[in-house]
Amino acid sequence: MSKPVQPTMTTAYFLQCVISFGAALTSVAIGVYHLPVDGWVRAFLTVAVLYAVTSSFGLAKCVRDRQEVENMSSRIDQARLDRLLSEHDPYKTEAA
């Protein structure tokens, strides 16, 4: 039976992702704050950015869930194949 490949994420990669996300969100917030427009335009842009951020989290979760389902079904198929191969005896002859 083959060992399933486990995805690995190092602490450095995770930290880099968190810092990158924080820097992007902070730069957008600073940019919206310094725009030479009325307050309601800033509020609209702020809500739009927050909506984009939350929907991107939702999309990432959906993609992850779909990959987990596909991985699970392939593991089940692999287990069935492994069982069939372990039960198969190539030297067994059928009685006629």
pLDDT tens digits for 61-81?
998 888 888 777 777 777 888
Q: What angle do CA 54, 55, 56 make, to 5 degrees?
A: 90
Q: What long-range pairs does 2-11 form, CB within 8 A, spacing at least 24?
A: 2/78, 2/82, 4/71, 4/75
The pLDDT of residue 79 is 81
The pLDDT of residue 32 is 93
Place of tokens 């030297």: 91
pLDDT tens digits for 20-46?
999 999 999 999 999 999 999 999 999
The pLDDT of residue 37 is 94
Band (55; pLDDT cuts 50, 70, 90): very high
pTM, 2 dp? 0.58
CA dist 57 and 51 (Å) reads: 10
Which segment of 9-23, 29-43, 79-93 scores lowest on mean pLDDT? Answer: 79-93
